[in-house]
Amino acid sequence: MVNTNFENKSEQGIEDNGAIKEVEKEDLSLDNFSSDNENIILVYAKKFGRFVFDIVKVVLISLAIILPVRMFLIQPFYVEGASMEPNFHDKEYLIIDEISYRFQEPQRGEVIVFRNPKNTKQYYIKRVIGLPGETIEISGGEVLINGKAIKEPYIENLSKQSFSALTLADDEYFVLGDNRPVSQDSRYFKALKREYIIGRVWFRGWPVDKISTFNLPTY
């Protein structure tokens, strides 16, 4: 009897163990994953791949457009100081057109940004007054070009300072700030070489209530 019970238990144990092993094999088998599950995973993988690709594409296209524009066409600057008041004020945000001067020369009355000839790491904003070949003189604050006084309707604060006659070379300009009493300009560093000019002021983007473009004054 004892032997019989033992044999029955052993046989039962073998059957139980065998059943357990069989279940484990089925659980680990890849056959349990249906084609539907595979399709869902594949679909999500493709969607994620397309999402990443679209982001990279947008970034690359944006850089391809923005970088050349930023480097060769337009450039932002902030006004610092009061030398161009009342027309430009401290902290105003300006967009500079760098492309126009590749095809034409600066004109009288245009407001330009240029490197300070005495310190090229500094940038100045001034108005073009004298053009190449002209003789510029300032008498009692009045600007004379080739001996004739010009009208400057954009000036509110006129300096009484005088400046001896200066004839500009073919690549030189005479620039002045609109706020004459406080502006460091061609009265101090003399003629401005063409090579220092960055571009002309094209657009004011800040503050919002002063957003505008700029036209040449009439002389």
Active site residues: 83, 126
Rounded to the nearest 5°, which phi and psi values hold at 43? -60, -45
Contact by Cβ (8 Å): 108, 146: no
Rounded to the nearest 5°, which phi and psi values hold at 16? -65, -45
- Counting other chains too, the contacts that 154-161 makes at CB distance below 8 Å and 24 or more residues apart are 154/87, 154/127, 154/178, 154/217, 155/180, 156/85, 156/86, 157/85, 157/181, 157/182, 161/187
DSSP H/E element including 92: none
Q: Are strands 148-149 and 119-130 parallel, antiparallel or unpaired?
A: unpaired
First to last CA, the chain: 129
Kindly list the distances between the CA atom of residue 20 and the CA atoms of 15, 23, 32, 101, 106, in Å, as whole numbers in the listed order: 9, 5, 17, 85, 91
DSSP H/E element including 55: helix 35-68
User: Across the strands, what pairs with 197?
Assistant: 114
Which two tokens mark 165? 């006659």
Which two tokens mark 153? 């309707």
